[in-house]
Amino acid sequence: MYIKPIQSLQGLNELNKISDKTNEKSNNMSFKSVFENALNNYIGAENQVDEDVYKLSIGESDDLHNMMINAQKAEISLDLVLQLRNKALDAYNEIMRMGV
């Protein structure tokens, strides 16, 4: 495995390039996008569970094992969404408590 050595910066232009790259990465992973992805994952998992339960109830499927796995996935996805919400509310409350 080749490890690239650390190179010296050649002025402020190099620092601006590094700053632009980090800003692009942080814009791609905003809290809103993380929360929306988590919520969409939960909705998809919940829809899959609903479909599995329906198929099981009308006799189209007898795959109880995968239905339980999908139900567990949906539960974990919901826990993630709830924890993200709780952390966002804690951060908001902490900001509101700050003195100006």
Q: Tens of pLDDT along the chain (100 residues)?
A: 677 776 665 666 665 676 666 555 555 678 888 889 999 999 999 999 999 999 999 988 888 899 999 999 999 999 999 999 999 999 999 999 987 7
How far apart CA 78 and CA 53 sit, in angstroms, is: 18
How far apart CA 60 and CA 89 sit, in angstroms, is: 43
Is the pTM above the cut of 0.85?
no
Neighbours of 84 (CB within 10 A): 15
Residue of 20, 23, 78, 21 whose CA lies nearest to 45:
78
Per-residue tokens: 80: 């993630």
How far apart CA 63 and CA 52 sit, in angstroms, is: 8
